[in-house]
Amino acid sequence: MKPKISQEAKAMAAQCRHYAMCNLDYLGTGLCSAGVEKPYISYFPQGRMDLCHALSEGLLRLTPALVDIARSCTLCGVCDLQCHFVTGMRPMKVMRELKEYVEAFLVIMAGVPSSFRYD
Ligand code: SF4
C-alpha cells in the first residue's frame, strides 16, 4: 500500500500563493538552507508545496531527485515563520509530510521485488 499525504497537508499545499517570499530573508530569520545550497525552486518551500500536492494527487513518481529534495529539508522551521507572516499558513506540516511520504515509500520499495515495482 502506498503512503498517503493527509488531507490537511494536501489542502495547505494547494493554497501556496507562489509569492516566493520563502525565497527571501525578509524577516531576518534566515533562509531555507536546502534552497540556499541548491538554488532551484524545488528545494525551496514553495517548490516543496507543489511537490507535496502533486504527490497527493498521484501526479509524480518517486525519483532520486525527489528523494534528495525531501531529505534536504532539515525541518528547521524557517519557512513556517516566513509563510505565516505573509499568508497565515504554517507549511511545516507539508514539509514534514513530504519527508515522511518519501521515506515511507522507500521502505515499501525496499521490500518489493524490482519486477513488481511501480515507481
Ligand atoms: S523546514 Fe525545510 S523547507 Fe522549511 S526552511 Fe527549513 S529546510 Fe527549508
The segments of the chain whose pLDDT lies below 70 read: 114-119
How far is the C-alpha of 26 from the C-alpha of 52, rounded, in Å?
Answer: 25
Distances (CA, A) of 57 to 4, 54, 68, 75: 10, 5, 20, 23
The reply to whether 39 falls in a domain is yes
The reply to whether 2 falls in a domain is no
The reply to whether 107 falls in a domain is yes
How many structural domains are present in the chain? Answer: 1
Residue nearest to atom 5 of ligand 1 (CA): 32
The reply to whether 111 falls in a domain is yes
- Which among 44, 58, 47, 36 has a CA at the least distance from the CA of 13? 47
Residue-wise pLDDT for 30-51, tens only, equals 999 999 999 999 999 999 999 9
Q: Report pLDDT for 25.
A: 97
The reply to whether 1 falls in a domain is no
**CB-side neighbour CA atoms (13 Å) of 55:** 31
Is 79 a pocket residue for ligand 1 (Cβ < 6 Å)? yes
Nine cell digits for residue 25: 530573508
Q: Report pLDDT for 117.
A: 60
The reply to whether 18 falls in a domain is yes
The reply to whether 85 falls in a domain is yes
Is 47 a pocket residue for ligand 1 (Cβ < 6 Å)? no
Full residue range of the structural domain in which residue 74 is found: 7-116
CA of residue 49 to ligand 1 center, whole Å: 11
Which residue is it, cell 518551500? 45
Q: Report pLDDT for 116.
A: 57
The reply to whether 61 falls in a domain is yes
Show Cβ contacts of residue 118 under 8 Å, excluding neighbours closer than 6 positions: none
